[in-house]
């Protein structure tokens, strides 16, 4: 991480876990554990129905609440969807866009991801854009092409002024929920590639302001090593974000 130019952000992605009541208890448990994190922003990306209890439980704290998805239109006949404006009005600050689970199970394409990124930024939300290669792509040696393509397509048409509100999460698909983590070298190499790609598109100043996270089985044991890298500015945490002590340990590692 490099705090001179950009924020260090540890974000929990709860995925489809916790009912509203359970969410309240989990936030109550996490809140005191992360309250001393001065150098790192803590974000909890919760299911839509948990947003309200999570916001209540984090009132007057520095913990920000994020959503895990949104629709790109402001309103209209899109049954079951939630717009960026709806999230903003509630007090949501971040939104995960293009998580590999959404790409895999819900058919999200790079084009859809791009529309969501533009809509999120327009509404004032900070998108956490997820990119990552499959195991097959890594083995074929096309990780670099895959990542560059995803970043370029996700950021197509984004105004350079908005780039500093951007978060990109590198989540190798083979490391998600598998207990397998990318090595520090692998994670650092791809996070550096992401920044280089943003630099090509938007220039050096914009590129150095972007928070780039690693995600994929990040935990209390491996967080410090990953976060020691110049181009890894935080983490997007799945499983470990549901365990208060583990999440605390990751926030502590980022706060060093």
- Contact footprint for ligand 13P (CB under 6 A): 13, 99, 171, 176-177, 215-218, 236-240
Residue 255: CB minimum distance to ligand 13P, A: 19
- Indicate which residue of 99, 108, 133, 137 is catalytic: 99
CB of 98 to ligand 13P, least distance (A): 11
Q: Could you give the angle at the alpha carbon of 23 between the alpha carbons of 33 and 25, nearest 5°?
A: 55
Looking at the Cβ atoms of 69 and 197, the one nearer to ligand 13P is 69
The alpha carbon dihedral of 222, 225, 227, 230 has a sign of negative
Whole-number minimum distance, CB 181 to ligand 13P, in Å?
8
Residues 6+ apart with CB under 8 A from 219: 181, 239, 240, 246, 249, 250
Query: Which listed residue (108, 133, 137, 171) is catalytic?
Result: 171
For residue 65, the minimal CB distance to ligand 13P (Å) is: 16
d(CA 195, CA 109): 22
171 is catalytic: yes
* Nearer to ligand 13P (CB atom), residue 177 or residue 203: 177
- Nearest to ligand 13P by Cβ — which residue? 238
CA nearest to 204, candidates 196, 212, 216:
196
- Would residue 156 show up in a list of annotated catalytic residues for this protein? no
Burial of residue 13, with CB atoms counted within 10 A of its CB: 0-12 exposed, 13-18 middle, 19 or more buried: buried
User: What distance in Å separates the CA atoms of residue 149 and residue 247, rounded to the nearest whole number?
Assistant: 31
Q: Which is nearer to ligand 13P, 137 or 202 (by Cβ)?
A: 137
Active-site residue list: 99, 171
């Amino acid at each position: 991480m490099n705090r001179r130019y950009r924020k260090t952000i540890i974000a929990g992605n709860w995925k489809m876990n916790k009912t509203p009541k359970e969410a309240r208890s989990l936030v109550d448990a996490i809140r005191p554990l992360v309250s001393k994190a001065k150098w790192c922003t803590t974000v909890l990306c919760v299911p839509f129905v948990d947003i309200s209890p999570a916001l209540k439980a984090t009132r007057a704290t520095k913990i920000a609440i994020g959503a895990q998805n949104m629709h790109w239109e402001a309103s209209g006949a899109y049954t079951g969807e939630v717009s960026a404006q709806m999230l903003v009005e509630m007090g949501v600050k971040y939104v995960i866009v293009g998580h590999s689970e959404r790409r895999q199970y819900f058919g999200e394409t790079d084009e859809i991801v791009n529309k969501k990124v533009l809509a999120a930024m327009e509404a004032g939300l900070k998108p956490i854009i997820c990119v990552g290669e499959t195991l097959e792509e890594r083995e074929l040696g096309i990780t670099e092409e895959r990542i560059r393509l995803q970043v370029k397509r996700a950021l197509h048409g984004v105004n350079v002024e908005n780039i500093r509100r951007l978060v990109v999460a590198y989540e190798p698909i083979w490391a998600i929920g598998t207990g397998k983590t990318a090595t520090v070298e692998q994670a650092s190499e791809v996070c550096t590639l992401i920044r280089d790609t943003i630099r090509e598109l938007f220039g050096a100043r914009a590129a150095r302001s972007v928070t780039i996270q690693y995600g994929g089985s990040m935990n209390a044991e491996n967080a410090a090593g990953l976060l020691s890298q110049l181009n890894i500015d935080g983490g997007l945490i799945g499983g470990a974000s549901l365990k208060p002590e583990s999440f605390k340990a990751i926030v502590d590692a980022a706060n060093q």
